[in-house]
Each structure stands twice: as C-alpha cells, then as structure tokens.
Amino acid sequence: MSGDPVETFRQEAQDLLEQIETGLLDLAHRPGDRALIDAVFRGLHTLKGSGAMFGFDALAAFTHHCESAFDRVRKGEVPASPELVAAVLAAQDHMRALAEGTDASEAEGEALLVRLRQAVDAAAGVVVEAPSAPGAATWKVRFSLPTDALANGTRPLPLLDELRELGECKVTALTDQIPPLEALNPTECWLGWEVILTTTHPRSAIEDVFIFVIDEMTLEIEALEPAAPVAEPDAPAEVLLAAVNSEAAAAPIAEIAAPDTQGGEAKAARVGDTVRVPAERLDELMDRVGELVIAQSRLKQVAVTSTEPQLRAVAEEIERLASELRDTMMVVRMVPVAQLFGRFRRLIHDLARDTGKSIELSTEGETTELDKTVIERLADPLVHLIRNSADHGLETPDQRLAAGKPATGQIRLAARQSGAEVIITITDDGRGVDRARVRAKAEENGLIAPGAVLSDSELLQLIFHPGFSTAATITNLSGRGVGMDVVKRTIEGLRGAIEMTSEPGQGSQISLRIPLTLAIIDGLLVRVGPARYVIPLPAVEECVELTVEQDMRSTGRSLLTLRDRLVPFIRLRELFRTGLVPDPHQKVVVVATGQERVGLVVDQILGDHQTVIKSLSSFHADVETFSGATILGDGGVALILDVAHLVAAGQRQDAQLRAAG
C-alpha cells in the first residue's frame, strides 16, 4: 500500500463511496430495508469522520448534511423516498470529487444541499405508519471496548448519552480490570460498563447505539422484568467517566466483563487476510514473470541439446516452478466481472431519469473472472453499449404498452467463460435494429453500393463503421456518429471480437469475446516455411495430418471432412506467401472460436510453448492476422496468430466456395 496517508484515505474513500452507492441503489427498490438504511448511514458517518481526520474538511462538512438526513431516516422520522435517495446519489458524486481533490464547485455543492433539504422536507410530509407503542421494558446492557479504543477515536461518553436518550437508566462503571497506577497507560481503556435501561424502544434500538463499534467490542443485552424508572448515577461514577474522557458531563456509566483479548487477535487476523497492493506493482511483477518464462524457455532449449543429466533435471524443475508461478500470478490478477457490472447500476438509474423510460438491469455470471487490465479497458465500451441500448434500443413506456410489451424495458448483462475467452453479452428487449434505415444510411454515406447484396451479419456490422449513426435526432446520450467504431477498436485491441444480432420488435444482443488475459498464454508452436508461429493453445481442438492425396483432392475447395463434418481450412503458406514447396507431411491444426471451426495447414508442429505476449508496433497495428509476438528460447521471434480473424477468413472462404458451387 502507498505510504502516503492522504492517498490511503482516498482509496478507502472510494471504497466507502461505492458501498454507499450500492446501498442507495438497493434502497430505490427496497426503501423500508432497515439493514440497507443502516449500511448507508454507517458509510456516510465513516466517510465524514475519516475526511475530518485526514484534513478533508470540505468533504466532512458536506457529508455531514447527508449523514444527518439519513440519521432521520434511521430514526424513522422520514422515509427513504425516491427523491431523497436520488438527492443523496447526486450528492455522492460531489463527495467523490471532494475526496479526489478535483475542482468541485462550491455553488454546485450548495445547490445539491438545497435539493437534499427539499427532499427531506418532502419526505417528512409523508405519513409514516408508526409501530404500536410497546410497554416499557427493562434491559441489562453490559459492554466493554478494546484497550486501544481511545487511541482509535472511539469515545464511551456518546455511547452512554445515546443509551440515556432511549429511556431512564442507571449506569455502573466496572473498575476491576484497571491495572495498578504505575502500569496504567492513559491512552488505554480498561473500564467496563453495566447499564440498567428502562425503555419503550425495542432491542434493535439498543444495538443501534453500538452500530459502529460492535465488531471490536464485547456486548451483552439481557431482558429483565419491567421496572420503574431508576435514579440518576452517583457522583463517583461520573468522576470515573471524566477520567476516561475529558468531555465527560453528567453522563451515566456501567459495568462489564474483562476485555476480550481473543477478539482483538481475531480482529488482527481478519485485517491481515487482505492486503491492498498498487496496480502498478502487479504490472511490474507480471513483467518480471514474463521475463522469467522467456529465460526458462532458453534454458529448456539449452538442456535439450545437452548430455548433462543434472542440467536437464534442473531445467525441468525450473520449468515446473515457472509454470506454477505464472499460474499463481494469473490468479492474482484475475477479478470477478461483478466489479465491472456493479458500476452500471448507477448508470441505468441515471439513464432512466434522463430518458424518461422505465429500465431494469439484470446481471448474470458475476463470478466470472477476467484479468484486471481487461476489466479496466472494458469499462468505457460497455458504458457506451448500455447507453446505446437505453437510447436507441428501448422504447418509451407508452410505446412498449402499445406493442404489447411490459412498460419496463429490460437490459441484461451476462458473462460466461468459454475456454480461454470470456463472452460478455448486452441484451435488450427493445425495438431491434431497423435494417432498412441502416441500409439507407450506409448507401447515403457511400459505404455500400445501392442494392448491394449483404448478409444480415454484414449489414449489422456497418453500425460499427466510423461516423455511422441512424439516430433521427442528436441527444446527450447518442446520435453523434461516434462511439461504436471506438468500441470495436477497443475490443479488437484486447484481441477480442464483437458480434451483433437483432430481431425487429424483439430486441438486440451484442456479444463481446474477450481473452482471459493479455500477458501470458499457453501456445502451440508451428512452422510454416522458414518462420515459426504461435497458435493460442486453448483455441486448438485437434491436429491431423494432411496427406498429399487430400491436399490434391481439396484443391479449389479447401474443405476437409472430419467425423462427417466439413471443415474449411486455410493454407498458411499461401496466406503468408512463403514461395516454398510445402513439406510432404503437412499438418492441419483445427482451431475454433465458439461453435465455428477452421483448419490451419502448417508444415510442422514443434510443440507447446509458454507464450509471453508482446504487442506489435503501431506500424503493424492494421495487420489483423497477428495479435502479437513472442520471444523464443533461441532469441528468435514468433508471431502469434489471431485465431478469431483466421476463423472468420475461413468462413468467408467457405461461403464463397459454396456460392461458386
């Protein structure tokens, strides 16, 4: 973790703001959920306190107003109305800017607070059904704080004040755990308290008093027989409390058991379970692992040509360790897509407000994992695709009802793993793509000739052409002719692919095929002519020999029969124009993406290879056949084949042959 305390606070503030946002969005659907209300209040309270502690006074002052509003919700004075939730969500964006230290308009902050006050006042006018008043009950509350509570900013006096607000109580301080004077550290808390409380409030109200410290303390709440109001505490108890906290007034105190040292140890163990590591350190470590894999590959090649058995044994051991280290590093970098999907709940909430549409977001496969770098680079493309679905795809409630659909439109995000890829789909149940409008716009822009024959997938792919838009009017969401081409370039930059399907009147689906990682993959090393290439191993289905007879028989057709299925194949020596005579015993490597298969004809299969992916230069950025390069054990370079591109090329070749036949 960074040694800068301010940067540490900012990281923790972002976590708190995400928790607050999640709680608010859940409250929009379950406004009476007490656990959610408490969670939002705790987040706001912690953010305010931490902000003040680290010198973020503007953040603390601003957050205080939101905390006060939710304190009224927590106490049942006002409901968590949609307007109040929306006001705090809007205020949360201002808090984020204040935490990040970016320019935050003071006038904007005042406007947000005015909106918040109006929402609270409006909610206060709503009649909230009060629970039936129970009879007074008497409770015995025993609690103690950890010895480091005072140093960590926890004060007993406010806790006792809150208990007094619940009813009449008698407080007794327990002093049996206080060490001798010479051993007493004034920063440590050794007092315990026992409170006899008579109140009409339920047990949950007592528990709420300790809502922010309950994980670190010991607490016992025992119901006693109903009792009459009790007397105020005596003077010695007040003196003892004053010794603990300089802010002591005439507040009651109480008794409790000895401090729970095991609880403190358990707390320390929990804290040590997770370590926050800066992302750049993970990237640096990944680079080192990549260099180690390259060095191991060189060692393996030297060992193969050596007659020294000990060298071979060491090379095999290092290969095993390097492979395990690579796999461990891959796991460390993997994060669930829930981290990505969770960001879009707020987006949908805002889109519904901006478009006047009723939109519901559902997610599936949130536990599917992707490399953290891939997750980061997917955020912007998914934002654009979701905004596009909300603006272009979904109809207004009136239009949906007229079409026999539910008034609320559905946008669904799903993720699933398929081999070495993750497939992310964005589906809506809107109006679908108007093919006639797409064709007309494409002809108008000169993208296709009038009357040109296109398959449905080719027609839909025109949407991803730069500057293409079918929006009748420009809105703040879409329609400016930018975005979809950028989405496609970003996905292809991740060595992925983007596909679209649509049913008129039923909706559209966009599928993103993304590799699990961008760093190291297992590959199959092959030779075509004098050059060597790497085929990503997860895409390889099988390898078969292509006999001379089969090669001659397939001339002009480029089709191979495998288990009663025709598989198109590509002769890589022709694609790469080696100008050499093929080897007499060529091999066909059958690769697949999804359900589509194609064979790649190579001269020789050299074996498996742990491939550290190196990006191609910007000069080669437009070469679609290759997705990168790797360094081999002998220092040579092998290009990595883009399987998705080659499969698509094989399908086009097959379609052309079928059309010609």
Helix (H) or strand (E) run with residue 205 in it: helix 203-209
56-112 per-position pLDDT tens digit: 888 888 888 888 888 888 888 888 888 888 888 888 888 888 888 776 777 888 888
The CA distance from 536 to 522, in Å, is: 6
Using 50, 70 and 90 to split pLDDT, how confident is the model at 425? very high
* Mean pLDDT, residues 132-155 taken together: 79
Least confident of 101-115, 200-214, 266-280: 266-280
CB crowding 110-131: b at 16 or more within 10 Å, else e: eebbebbeebbeebeeeeeeee
The CA distance from 648 to 514, in Å, is: 16
Which is more confident, 571 or 468? 571
Helix (H) or strand (E) run with residue 38 in it: helix 34-53
Instruction: Report which listed range, 15-24, 465-474, 486-495, 576-585, is most confident.
Output: 15-24
Task: Please provide the average confidence, as pLDDT, over all residues in the chain.
Answer: 78
The CA distance from 448 to 433, in Å, is: 18
Say what the pLDDT of residue 274 is: 65
Say what the pLDDT of residue 557 is: 60
3-state secondary structure 138-164: EEEEEEECCCCCCCCCCCHHHHHHHHH
The single-letter DSSP state of residue 177 is T
Read off the tokens for 376. Answer: 């980061």
Task: Spell out the residues 6+ positions from residue 472 whose beta carbon is closer than 8 angstroms to its own.
Answer: 479
Using 50, 70 and 90 to split pLDDT, how confident is the model at 581? confident
Does the pLDDT at position 312 exceed 90?
Answer: no
The CA distance from 105 to 50, in Å, is: 22
Say what the pLDDT of residue 413 is: 93
Parallel, antiparallel, or unpaired: how do β-strands 421-428 and 409-418 relate? Answer: antiparallel
Read off the tokens for 126. Answer: 């709503």
Does the pLDDT at position 560 exceed 90?
Answer: no
Using 50, 70 and 90 to split pLDDT, how confident is the model at 556? low
Give residue limits of the domains in the chain. Answer: 5-124, 137-268, 280-335, 337-515, 520-660
Using 50, 70 and 90 to split pLDDT, how confident is the model at 131? very low
Do 611 and 522 meet the contact criterion of CB atoms below 8 Å apart? Answer: yes
Using 50, 70 and 90 to split pLDDT, how confident is the model at 270? very low
C-alpha torsion sign, points 136, 171, 231, 225? positive
Does the pLDDT at position 480 exceed 60?
Answer: no
Does the pLDDT at position 411 exceed 80?
Answer: yes
Do 637 and 630 meet the contact criterion of CB atoms below 8 Å apart? Answer: yes
Q: Which CATH architecture has domain 137-268?
A: 2-Layer Sandwich (3.30)
Do 533 and 641 meet the contact criterion of CB atoms below 8 Å apart? Answer: yes
Which is more confident, 454 or 143? 143
Instruction: Report which listed range, 387-391, 410-414, 439-443, 579-583, is most confident.
Output: 410-414
Say what the pLDDT of residue 19 is: 87
Does the pLDDT at position 538 exceed 80?
Answer: no
Say what the pLDDT of residue 655 is: 62
Using 50, 70 and 90 to split pLDDT, how confident is the model at 658? low
Instruction: Report which listed range, 45-49, 399-403, 451-455, is most confident.
Output: 399-403
Q: How many residues are recorded in the chain?
A: 661
* Mean pLDDT, residues 247-274 taken together: 39
Does the pLDDT at position 475 exceed 80?
Answer: no
Nearest to 88 by CA among 66, 107, 108: 66
* Mean pLDDT, residues 504-510 taken together: 90
* Mean pLDDT, residues 366-373 taken together: 85
Using 50, 70 and 90 to split pLDDT, how confident is the model at 472? low
Question: Among the CATH numbers 1.20.120.1200, 3.40.605.10, 3.30.565.10, 2.30.30.180, which is that of 337-515?
Answer: 3.30.565.10
Using 50, 70 and 90 to split pLDDT, how confident is the model at 235? very low
Which is more confident, 360 or 294? 360
Does the pLDDT at position 137 exceed 70?
Answer: yes
Does the pLDDT at position 602 exceed 70?
Answer: yes
Give the domain 5-124 fold.
Answer: Four Helix Bundle (Hemerythrin (Met), subunit A) (1.20.120)
Q: Would 5-124 and 137-268 be classified into the same CATH topology?
A: no
Using 50, 70 and 90 to split pLDDT, how confident is the model at 412? very high
CATH class entry, domain 520-660: mainly beta
